[in-house]
Amino acid sequence: MPQHTLKDIRNIVLLGHNGAGKTSLSEAILFSAGASSRLGKVDEGSTVSDYDPEEIKSRMSINLTMLPCEWHGTKINVIDTPGYSDFVGEVKAAVRVTESAIIVISSSAGVEVGTEQVWQYSEDSKLSRIIYINKMDRENANFNQVVEQVRTKFGLKCAPLQIPAGAHTTYQGVIDLLSKKAYLGNPAKESEIPAAMQEQVNKYREKLIESVAESDDKLLEKYLGGEELILEELKLALHKAITEGKIVPILAGSSLQNVGVTTLMDFILTYLPSPAERKVALFKDSKEEIVEPTETGPLAALVFKAAADPYVGKLTYFRVYTGTLSSNSQIWNSVKNAGERIGQLYLVRGKTQEPVAQVKAGDIGAVAKLSVTAVGDTLCNQENPLKLAPPVFPDPVFSEAVQPKTKADLDKLGAALARLVEEDPTLRMHRDPGTSETILAGLGETHLKVAADKVARKFGVNIELNIPRVPYRETIMGNSQAEYKHKKQTGGHGQYGHVVLTVEPLPRGTGFEFADKVVGGAIPRNFIPAVEKGVREAIPEGVLAGYPIIDVRATVVDGSFHPVDSSEICFKIAGAGALKKCLSQAQPILLEPIMDIKVKVPTDYTGDIMSDLNTKRARVQGMYPDGEYNVIDAQVRQAEILRYSIDLKSLTQGRGTFTMKFDHYEEVPTHITQKIVAEKDATRTEA
């Protein structure tokens, strides 16, 4: 493909509910543009977009996919995205690097949960939009009904620019309301409007012209003055209104039959903005500067995706906002403050990569094997360290404990998970010191299942996912004093260390403190650090159920030593021993994490959510409205909400979202403590 200038590029993300037909539409676009030689089908696993084995297996998109093609000399960078909410990270990345979105809605299902969500994302990112009502060939296709639904939900700025000719078996194409031409058949042929539809066309056209006129003061004056508006000025005004988000045109088609797709592509060229029409916000030393994009200006390219490719290794995707990035060059990562060597640049389409010498402003490319660069970073020149705002990803809300299936899997686990997390900014991994489990956290059950499949396939590591254990902590209620004498006489040199320790509880959130109040050299100064070391090494395993100790101060108050037999190791052992004894005598208790959660649900669901939170014995702290939603703030024991993302999905048909963060520890009720201690004792005797 030849290089394109800023004006000859359109960056477009396909958004919509899972199953609306985004991937099928992307396939029809590629085929119509001649970028693929046959029209693949999702149901046969033969599309350019869903090429990943996990996508073919599940018959749905999981990743964002770059699908560039050329239409009448203009490059359209189509980005297909997943509709399933667990993969919203991919959607957020794609929305960040595009000027426009096509929101795909099924003509039979209408506006769905996912439609509402992506509408919000596109609104937040101020994208220019088209609504494309797909599946017009379906038996229960109902264009007018979906249009009404869209206008009720998203406002009157959504207006049909086309109407379909026929529906279901009689569906043949679309009528363009502005030009009053019909485009029927596949490939589309310009035809006269069927006589029976003339009246309907006139009605919708009048409405459309009114909306277009309203978007521009001069046009409105003319229109109200009764003057006829000419097609060219209407087109210009419509382009401007769409670019500014004042009008969201509604189009129709059938991706599966490839009808209405070339008219959509023509529409993209005429009405959606090119990168030249969007100013770029650059940050230099935290100061924002708004500039016009140019190919010759200083370089600023945003990294929005990383993926492990079987052939070229780690592939990093970037969008150039201004300047030009060249193959085999040295550039600067302004977020990491480090240089980076750029090798061969590629234009990616599905799973294939075409090597290119340069990627210019407005375009999207990829490069293999970068060493320091991660998603969200900006690539630039060292003498001009610019930054672009990174995509904003949601925090994980669902965790599982990762268990390797075999010893061989264990050895490779850490490295494989690290690479997985590097690729997917909505995945996190950590090792919980309290439970000794490796925790993988993501956006939902499906997200983690797919991640597990991926480590098996890409890195050859087989893992199991289990419900994680609650990271309890231990502390004490009372004060105590105890001593521990480590004394051994084994032939020649003996061992001697003697420590007297006190413990006292500290306020929640203080952690662990060590103090030294030894006077008169009962323990020589040089051994005190050894005592502290022994005490600190004993903290991770409490005396009740083996959980880490927090909110305790241990003070060494006395002891004794032997001039010959005492050593650091002896005082370490005595310190650890004294702590254990002290803790056992100081009314040890278990603490559990209490989480702050914020649940956002459509108002109708408030009652159901409240009663569910009630059964989880959550403490509701407050509630406030946010548009058509209610946000509920509550505190709840972590043990109760380990699977909350699953519960919330089923309670709200996927409409609810929540965030969760650790707030504080609280004492575990006695009967539950007894259960946990008993379980711990059982595993101890097993081992």
CB closer to ligand GDP out of 135 and 486? 135
Told to check if 19 binds ligand GDP by CB under 6 A, we report yes
**What does the binding site for Mg ion look like in residue numbers (CB under 5 A)?**
22-23, 61
Q: CA-CA distance, 554 to 540, in Å (whole number)?
A: 14
Rounded Cα gap, residues 237 and 216, in angstroms: 7
Contact partner, 254, from Mg ion, ligand GDP, none, Cβ < 5-8 Å per class: ligand GDP
Q: 6, 12, 48, 60: which one contacts ligand GDP (CB under 6 A)?
A: 60
Stretch that binds ligand GDP, among 13-21, 475-483, 496-504, 608-616 (CB under 6 A): 13-21
From candidates 40, 68, 83, 350, binder to ligand GDP by CB under 6 A: 83
Residue 22 in contact with ligand GDP, rule: CB under 6 A: yes
Distances (CA, A) of 335 to 287, 373, 624: 15, 9, 37
Beta carbons within 8 Å of 415's beta carbon, 6+ residues apart: 459
Q: What burial class does residue 212 get, using C-beta atoms within 10 Å of its C-beta: 0-12 exposed, 13-18 middle, 19+ buried? A: buried
Whole-number minimum distance, CB 272 to ligand GDP, in Å? 20
36 makes contact with ligand GDP (CB under 6 A): no
Nearer to Mg ion, 114 or 391 (CB): 114
Residues in 256-275 that interact with ligand GDP by CB under 6 A: 256
Contacting ligand GDP (CB under 6 A), which of 8, 13, 23, 654? Answer: 23
Q: What gap in Å lies between CA 508 and CA 589, rounded to an integer?
A: 13
Of the two residues 137 and 216, which places its CB atom closer to ligand GDP in the complex? 137
Q: Considering only the stretches 16-24, 314-322, 503-511, 531-539, report the one whose residues sit in contact with ligand GDP under the rule CB under 6 A.
A: 16-24
**How many beta carbons lie within 10 A of that of residue 154, not counting itself?**
19
Peptide bond into 187 cis (omega under 30): yes
Spatial contact of 479 and 502, defined as CB atoms under 8 Å apart: yes
Partner from ligand GDP, Mg ion, none contacting 20, C-beta within 5 to 8 A by type: ligand GDP
What residues numbered 120-179 form the site for ligand GDP, per CB under 6 A? 134-135, 137-138
Compare residues 60 and 416 and give the one whose CB is closer to ligand GDP: 60
Paired tokens of 21: 């037909």
In the list Mg ion, ligand GDP, none, the entry touching 539 (Cβ below 5 to 8 angstroms by class) is none
Which of 5, 18, 294, 659 lies at the binding interface for ligand GDP (CB under 6 A)?
18
Q: Which amino acid is present at 625? A: P
* Residues 545 and 590: beta-carbon distance below 8 Å: yes
List, in sequence order, the alpha helices (H) in 468-585.
528-538, 568-585
Q: How far apart (Å, rounded) are the C-alpha atoms in residues 533 and 560?
A: 17
Q: Which does 255 bind (CB under 5 to 8 A by kind): Mg ion, ligand GDP, none?
A: ligand GDP
Structure-token match 């209620």, residue found: 477
Buried b (16+ CB within 10 A) or exposed e, 626-635: eeebbbbebe
Looking at 63, 65, 125, 255, which residue binds ligand GDP (CB under 6 A)?
255
Count of residues near ligand GDP by CB under 6 A: 22
Question: Which residue has tokens 């002891």?
Answer: 559
Residues that bind ligand GDP (CB under 6 A): 16, 18-24, 41-43, 60-61, 83, 104, 134-135, 137-138, 254-256
